[in-house]
A and B are shown apart, each in its own frame.
Chain A
Amino acid sequence: DGGITQSPKYLFRKEGQNVTLSCEQNLNHDAMYWYRQDPGQGLRLIYYSQIVNDFQKGDIAEGYSVSREKKESFPLTVTSAQKNPTAFYLCASSPSWTGAGEQYFGPGTRLTVT
Chain B
Amino acid sequence: GENVEQHPSTLSVQEGDSAVIKCTYSDSASNYFPWYKQELGKGPQLIIDIRSNVGEKKDQRIAVTLNKTAKHFSLHITETQPEDSAVYFCAASGGFKTIFGAGTRLFVKA
Residues of A within 8 A of B (CB): 4, 6, 9, 31, 40-43, 45, 48, 50, 90, 92, 97-103, 105-108, 110
Residues of B29-78 contacting chain A, CB below 8 A: 30-32, 34, 36, 41-46, 49
Chain B residues whose CB sits within 8 angstroms of the CB of A108 once the complex forms = 41-43
On whether the beta carbons of B98 and A103 are closer than 8 Å, the reply is yes
Chain A residues whose CB sits within 8 angstroms of the CB of B98 once the complex forms = 45, 100, 103
Q: Which of B30, B32, B44 contacts A90 (CB 8 A)?
A: B44
B25 at the interface (CB under 8 A from A): no
State A110–B41 Cα separation when bound (angstroms): 9
Number of A-B residue pairs with CB-CB distance less than 8 Å in the complex they form: 58
Chain B residues whose CB sits within 8 angstroms of the CB of A31 once the complex forms = 96
With contacts A105-B43, A105-B45 known, is A50 near B89, CB below 8 A?
Answer: no
State A98–B31 Cα separation when bound (angstroms): 13
From residue B86, how far is it (CB to closest CB) to chain A in Å? 14
From residue B99, how far is it (CB to closest CB) to chain A in Å? 8
